[in-house]
Amino acid sequence: MTDIEVKNLSRTYEYYRKQQGLLGSFKSLFHREKLYAEAVKNISFSIESGELIGFLGPNGAGKTTTLKMLSGILHPTNGEVKVLGHIPSQREKIYQKQFALVMGQKNQLIQDLPAIETFVVNKEIYEIPDKEFQENLEELVNLFDIKNILDIQVRKLSLGQRMKCELVAALLHKPKVLFLDEPTIGLDVVAQKNIRDFIKKYNREKKTTIILTSHYMEDIKELCQRVIIINLGKIIYDGKLDDLIKKYAPHKLLKVVFNGNGVRREEVEKFGEIDEFNPYVCTFKTNRSEAKNTAVALLSSNLPVDDIIIDEVDIDDVVRKIFTSQS
Amino acid sequence: MIYLIHRMKKFLTIVKAFWQRALTYRFTVLVYRIGEIGETLVLILMWSAIYGGQKNIGGLTLQEMITYILIGNFFNAIIRNFLSSVIARDIKDGRLSMFLIKPMGYFSYILSQEIGRISLATMMSVLSSTLVIIFFINTFIWDFDVTYLLVILAMVILAFIAELLLSYLIGLIAFWTDEVDGLYATIDRIKKFFSGGYFPLNLLPIAFVQVSFALPFAYSFFVPAQLYLKKVDLSTGLKGLLIQIIWILVLYGIIKIVWNRGLKRYEGVGI
Ligand SMILES: Nc1ncnc2c1ncn2[C@@H]1O[C@H](COP(=O)(O)OP(=O)(O)O)[C@@H](O)[C@H]1O
Ligand SMILES: [Mg+2]
């Protein structure tokens, strides 16, 4: 079954040039210069029930805008959106009870109260029956292992703990479709992994349709089989993650930090293709399968290695590759 | 009927949550109340000085004037709210978006939130105003005329509703402009002036009093206080209730229009 159907969707923002100073503000009460930003340009895709899709793109690509249209916050300028058979911008209650949106940048928890209070408020808003609420809550609390923080003021929780609670608040009404807008943003590596593991598990167990946006390859790589890449408001890739990696991201980045007096370029060149170089920090581009071996080789050499980080390539890099291959 | 109970429960759950939130800030709430008591005392001192040897200003003896200030502030403590800035913040920060996707209207949500939020402050204000009244127990004029009190009660309830709607409407200005704090402070002063909170309105020209009787503000302070002192008669009080009801309907209508236009803009600009 197709849960989400997007056809030729576009969105243009109107905004106003900000005038400087008091006089400017006063003038702008009467006349303001209107400007337009095309955030999403004629995109189409469809998503089947139970899929977990990665919506990947650099900052400003149009990911949030798309999710806002899917959840009915924004009306499309052009084109059509259908989610679960509903048109989101009509804001029908039956639709609203069937999806949830979690934004890494915006919180819905009541900050001055323990998270449990927001859960109870949401129970009323979504009209969840008592028994169902208790069951869902218990299940989610166990899944996330947050029993011991339910009674602590949200403000006093770590960012990772807060995100867990945000997710619980959004899942209490058992949404069929879940939109996650950069849920791992600002989190430390361990917390990121926690959240990812949860999303994966939740999708597998509940068969919830999930769109997850990110500007990290890392996020998507672990979770999604299918990715959609958006850049400057246009979809430039929609397909299997494996294919994407094979074709456009065959490398990993190996960032090596040297201490002492650093190194000379000639000393490190033999370890692989150099992406960036200075005597103290050097980044290699290595094949996925080679990354570990290269790291071992570096460590066992007599170079003054202080630290090695193996990372995914930048999304901007992938986008560039896709473009050059297409043109 | 079941539907109604359901709605009520929704409402009360939100009220309760925000009541608790207020409790976590009880110290701040307390400090504000001390400020209010100070303000009332300064007003009383000031009027005592102005009266000097004079018997009567604007038809009120000093004792009546002090009662006016005390009882007026008591009513005002029940009536006022701080809804505008809450709404403005939701709009400016784009938090409104998170409400637009929920199966509950923003209006109902924010009203229950505000009632929960202010109930503690209101209780403490009522308590502190009562304390000040007790402090002036010998000066304060006690008068328990049940018919008057009933009219006053109805007036205070209607004034509470009218003020909520008015604050909601003012809060919606944030759809059109970012800088609202100064504007709200100014509007608050104007409201207080027209309500008779600084001094009884009948010190001003008669035309002015007539105008303010047609506006909703006087019913939050001046009119109920004058009713208590029996400086205006019951028929004026009843006419006042009618004017209040008309204002509530008008405000509700304006809110609907402004909300829809504001939302259009919010969606266009896409905060
Ligand atoms: N409210 C707005 N007014 C004007 N332009 C906006 C607004 N919101 C986003 N944009 C612009 O639209 C584009 C897409 O933004 P967004 O959807 O937030 O991107 P992403 O979530 O992928 O980072 C960006 O160029 C951004 O500057
Ligand atoms: Mg975004």
Distance, CA of A292 to CA of A105 (rounded, Å): 34
Contact B54, B124 (CB under 8 A): no
ipTM value, please give it. 0.80
Nearest CB neighbour to B17, from listed A68, A96, A110: A110
Class of domain A2-246 (CATH, top level): alpha beta
For ligand 1, say whether the CB of A57 is within 6 Å of any of its atoms.
yes
Nearest residue of B to residue A119, measured between CA atoms:
B17
Token match 């309760």: residue?
B16
What are the structure tokens assigned to B137, written together?
Answer: 């127990």
Q: Which of residues 185-244 of A touch B (CB under 8 A)?
A: none
Tell me which chain A residues have a C-beta less than 8 angstroms from the C-beta of B270.
11, 13, 65, 68, 74
DSSP string across A41-107: EEEEEEEETT-EEEEE--TTSSHHHHHHHHHTSS--SEEEEEETTB-GGG--HHHHTTEEEEETTB-
Distance, CA of B133 to CA of B140 (rounded, Å): 7
Contact A96, B3 (CB under 8 A): no
Contact B167, B185 (CB under 8 A): no
Nearest CB neighbour to A108, from listed B13, B98, B267: B98
CB contact under 8 A, B6 and A127: yes
How high does pLDDT run on average in chain A?
Answer: 90
Bigger pLDDT: A168 vs B179: A168
Picking from B233, B231, B74, B244, the residue whose alpha carbon sits closest to that of residue B154 is B244
Distance, CA of A108 to CA of A102 (rounded, Å): 8
Picking from A41, A38, A39, the residue whose alpha carbon sits closest to that of residue A10 is A41
How high does pLDDT run on average in chain B?
Answer: 89
Distance, CA of B144 to CA of B132 (rounded, Å): 19
Which 3 state secondary structure label does DSSP give A179? strand
Burial category of A276 from C-beta neighbours within 10 Å (exposed 0-12, middle 13-18, buried 19 and up): exposed
**Is pLDDT at A29 greater than 70 in this prediction?**
no
Which ligand 1 atom lies nearest to the CA of residue A233?
A: 14
Classify B270 in phi/psi space as left (phi over 0), alpha (psi -120 to 50) or beta: left
Distance, CA of A204 to CA of B174 (rounded, Å): 43
Q: Mutate which of B3, B97, B109, B120 to test chain A, going by most A C-beta atoms within 10 A?
A: B97
Instruction: Report CA-CA distances (Å) from A224 to A160, A193, A214, A228.
Output: 21, 14, 12, 10
Q: What pTM does this model have?
A: 0.85
Report the C-alpha dihedral over residues A207, A209, A212, A213, rounded to 10 degrees: 170
Long-range contacts of residues A223-228, Cβ cutoff 8 Å, at least 24 apart: A223/A52, A223/A54, A223/A196, A223/A199, A224/A52, A224/A53, A224/A54, A225/A52, A226/A51, A226/A52, A226/A53, A226/A54, A227/A53, A227/A54, A227/A55, A227/A56, A228/A45, A228/A53, A228/A54, A228/A55, A228/A56
Contact B24, B120 (CB under 8 A): no
Which residue from A10, A12, A13 has its CB within 8 A of the most atoms of ligand 1, so it is best to mutate? A13
Nearest CB neighbour to A124, from listed B14, B267, B269: B14
Contact A44, A4 (CB under 8 A): no
Mean per-residue pLDDT, B211-234: 93
CB contact under 8 A, A127 and B177: no
Domain boundaries, chain A: 2-246, 250-311
For ligand 1, say whether the CB of A37 is within 6 Å of any of its atoms.
yes
Tell me which chain B residues have a C-beta less than 8 angstroms from the C-beta of A83.
none
Pairs of CB atoms within 8 A across A/B: 75
> pLDDT digits over A197-235, tens only?
999 999 999 999 999 999 888 888 888 999 999 999 999
> pLDDT digits over A105-156, tens only?
888 898 888 999 999 999 999 999 999 999 999 999 998 889 999 999 999 9
- Quick one: which H or E segment has residue B231? none
For ligand 1, say whether the CB of B269 is within 6 Å of any of its atoms.
yes
Picking from B158, B134, B177, B141, the residue whose alpha carbon sits closest to that of residue B237 is B158
What are the structure tokens assigned to B32, written together?
Answer: 């504000």
Distance, CA of A148 to CA of A257 (rounded, Å): 39
Compute chain B's Rg from CA coordinates.
20
Fold of A250-311: Alpha-Beta Plaits (3.30.70)
For ligand 1, say whether the CB of A214 is within 6 Å of any of its atoms.
no
**Is pLDDT at B202 greater than 90 in this prediction?**
no
Of A37-41, A82-86, B40-44, B155-159, minimum mean pLDDT range? B40-44
Number of neighbouring beta carbons within 10 Å of residue A89: 18
Structure confidence at residue B257 as a pLDDT band (50, 70, 90): very high
Strands A2-16 and A34-48: antiparallel
> pLDDT digits over A284-321, tens only?
988 888 888 888 988 888 889 898 988 888 888 888 88
> pLDDT digits over A248-276, tens only?
888 888 899 998 888 888 888 888 888 88
Distance from CA of B265 to the nearest CA of A (A): 9
> pLDDT digits over B79-113, tens only?
988 899 889 999 988 889 999 999 988 998 888 88
